């Protein structure tokens, strides 16, 4: 494998290598090494990073606790690059490569705090049954004016006409061409990095775009989402604007989602296990949906991880509020798209664009796996009705969501207790930090009135 890395680096004239890993919040962390030093580190197994990197909060702090040995002792984690993820990093002055790394303990056991390892753990359960999940994420994001003062609200940027969008432009082609140069630059960078992206559309929000990825392996697609976010932010900055994947960046605009299409195939034959031979839905498909309906509301922080995430999940804001399932019905949290039998799949519309892709996919697949194994029957499909009129079953706040998650022992057992405890601890620390902040709304409405 070392020879493969060296040959590829020499072929592409790479001078530096960025080793990428995703922390609990999906924030890219890692190391940048000169290419020769990177290759030496593979030879002598010296590529390491403090394991506490997986415990950093979104505010950049560590959740210290008396029994938190990972932070106090902070042992090194061995990093092993995944050669399949090696790609040219576009837009750098110095020829640079990206590579995603896996984290291991010194004894060679996968580090269970790593979100990538958590997803691998779930996929191993499927593999033991002879099944392979196939996913295709759709990720939305906004372009905004540069915002140097976080106390000020975000605003849509001006396009090439010199004017910002002031009204919704869903699927607007003229609206897309307002940012044609930036979008072409995104496609160019994605092609250089080998990302398998498909269609791009203008979404409902002002300067809100959506990119669809081609379907494939969950680990590969999670890696690509991580790299895609990094590239888009960099391209946007070069064009004098921001790109944000916040779930709800602007009060008067819809939120941004990361819808995940998912199906299940038989290893070896590639047969879609969600359909019978006659093309009808299989019992496995029903039970998969049943598992998501039974458990997704209990694991919401894994796909809605931030305070801001819950501002998106409101009625008629292009985001679901419950776990109803329907055929070709976008008011439902779970949607069965129109397709031929070979492409039968389920779309999970709950995750926000701010979610860690590894954890969002791990949560969805874990719930579906439990549904199949326990043969959980789904509720009756919504037939053409408005699911927003059904009762809300998703939590309204991160606080409520964490209360539910901490009681969900079945998911704790699937994802791993050590990871589970660390994740909830991080989210509690972030929630406490948010509670210390006095908002402009409070000053505006309470300062001189109450």
Q: What would the pLDDT profile of 147-192 be if each residue is shown by its tens digit?
A: 999 989 999 999 999 999 887 788 888 888 999 999 999 999 999 9
Indicate if the alpha-carbon torsion angle 6, 7, 13, 14 is positive or negative: negative
Residue 224 reports pLDDT greater than 80:
yes
Looking at residues 202-223, what average pLDDT do you find? 96
Pairwise CA distance, residues 211 & 223, whole Å? 15
Segment 358-382, tens digit of pLDDT: 999 999 999 999 999 999 999 999 9
Residue 291 reports pLDDT greater than 90:
yes
Tell me the pairing of strands 258-266 and 131-144. Answer: antiparallel
Tell me the pairing of strands 325-327 and 334-336. Answer: parallel
φ and ψ at residue 14, rounded to 5 degrees: -80, 135
Residue 135 reports pLDDT greater than 70:
yes
Residues contacting residue 338 through CB under 8 Å, at least 6 positions apart: 327, 328
Segment 57-109, tens digit of pLDDT: 999 998 875 555 566 678 899 999 999 999 999 999 999 999 999 999 999 99
Pairwise CA distance, residues 57 & 256, whole Å? 22
Higher pLDDT, 71 or 431: 431
Q: Could you tell me which of 435, 418, 432 has the C-alpha nearest to residue 24?
A: 418
Residue 275 reports pLDDT greater than 60:
yes
Query: What is the b/e burial string over 181-220, where b = at least 16 CB atoms within 10 angstroms of the residue's CB?
Result: ebbebbeebbeebebebeeebbbbbbbbbbbbbebeebbb
Q: What is the pLDDT of residue 68?
A: 57
Residues facing residue 348 across a β-bridge: 260, 334
Tokens (6 digits) for 203: 């979404």
Domains by residue range for the chain, with CATH:
2-111 (3.10.20.70), 123-444 (3.30.590.10)
pTM (2 d.p.): 0.96
Radius of gyration of the chain (CA): 22
Residue 133 in 3-state DSSP? strand
Pairwise CA distance, residues 170 & 209, whole Å? 9
Residue 416 reports pLDDT greater than 60:
yes
Segment 304-358, tens digit of pLDDT: 999 999 999 987 767 899 999 999 999 999 999 999 999 999 999 999 999 999 9
Q: What is the pLDDT of residue 78?
A: 96
Residue 237's H or E segment, with its range, is helix 218-238
φ and ψ at residue 448, rounded to 5 degrees: -115, 15
Looking at residues 201-224, what average pLDDT do you find? 96
Residue 271's H or E segment, with its range, is none
Segment 17-35, tens digit of pLDDT: 999 999 999 999 999 999 9
φ and ψ at residue 384, rounded to 5 degrees: 75, 0
Q: What is the pLDDT of residue 11?
A: 96
Pairwise CA distance, residues 89 & 19, whole Å? 11
Tokens (6 digits) for 24: 């609990």
CB burial of residue 290 (10 Å; 0-12, 13-18, 19+): buried
Q: What is the pLDDT of residue 423?
A: 96
Pairwise CA distance, residues 393 & 373, whole Å? 23
Pairwise CA distance, residues 179 & 163, whole Å? 11
Residue with token string 């932070």: 71
Mean pLDDT of the chain: 94
CB burial of residue 292 (10 Å; 0-12, 13-18, 19+): buried
Residues making up the chain, counted from first to last = 450
Going from the C-alpha of 128 to that of each of 76, 121, 124, 151, 341, the distances in angstroms are 31, 11, 6, 51, 25
């Amino acid at each position: 494998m070392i020879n493969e890395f060296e040959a590829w680096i020499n072929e592409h004239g790479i001078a530096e290598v960025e080793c990428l890993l995703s922390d609990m919040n999906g924030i890219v962390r890692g190391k940048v090494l000169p290419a020769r030093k990177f290759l030496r580190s593979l030879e002598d197994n010296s590529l390491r990073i403090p394991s506490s990197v997986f415990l950093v909060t979104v505010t950049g702090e560590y959740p210290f606790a008396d029994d938190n040995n990972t932070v106090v002792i902070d042992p090194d984690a061995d990093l092993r690059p995944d050669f399949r993820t090696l790609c040219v990093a576009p837009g750098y002055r110095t020829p640079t490569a990206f590579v995603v790394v896996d984290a291991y303990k010194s004894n060679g056991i996968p580090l269970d705090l790593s979100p990538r390892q958590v997803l691998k753990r779930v996929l191993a359960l499927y593999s033991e049954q002879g099944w392979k999940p196939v996913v295709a994420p759709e990720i939305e994001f906004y372009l905004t004016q540069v915002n140097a003062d976080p106390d000020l609200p975000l605003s849509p940027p001006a396009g090439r006409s010199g004017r910002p969008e002031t009204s919704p432009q869903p699927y607007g082609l003229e609206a897309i061409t307002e940012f044609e140069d930036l979008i072409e630059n995104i496609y160019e960078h994605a092609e250089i990095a080998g990302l398998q992206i498909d269609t791009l559309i203008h979404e409902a929000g002002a300067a809100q775009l959506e990119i669809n990825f081609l379907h494939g392996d969950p680990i590969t697609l999670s890696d690509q989402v991580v790299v895609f976010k990094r590239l888009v932010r960099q391209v946007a900055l070069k064009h004098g604007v921001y790109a944000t994947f916040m779930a709800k960046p602007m009060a008067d605009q819809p939120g941004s989602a990361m819808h995940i299409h998912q199906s299940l195939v038989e290893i070896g034959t590639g047969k879609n296990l969600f359909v019978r031979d006659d093309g009808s839905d299989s019992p496995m498909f029903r039970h998969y949906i049943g598992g998501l309906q039974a458990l997704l509301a209990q694991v919401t922080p894994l796909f809605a991880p931030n305070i801001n995430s819950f501002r998106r999940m409101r009625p008629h804001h292009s985001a679901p509020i419950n776990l109803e399932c329907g055929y070709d019905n976008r008011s439902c949290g779970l949607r069965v798209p129109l397709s031929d039998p070979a492409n039968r799949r389920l779309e999970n519309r709950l995750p926000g664009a701010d979610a860690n892709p590894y954890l969002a996919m791990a949560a969805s697949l874990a719930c579906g796996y439990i549904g199949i194994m326990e043969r959980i029957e789904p509720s009756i499909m919504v037939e053409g009705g408005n699911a927003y009129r059904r009762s809300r079953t998703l939590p309204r706040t991160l606080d409520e969501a964490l209360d539910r998650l901490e009681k969900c022992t079945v998911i704790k057992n699937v994802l791993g207790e050590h990871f589970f405890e660390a994740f909830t601890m991080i989210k509690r620390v972030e929630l406490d930090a948010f509670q210390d902040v006095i908002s402009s709304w409070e000053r505006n409405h309470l300062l001189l009135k109450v």
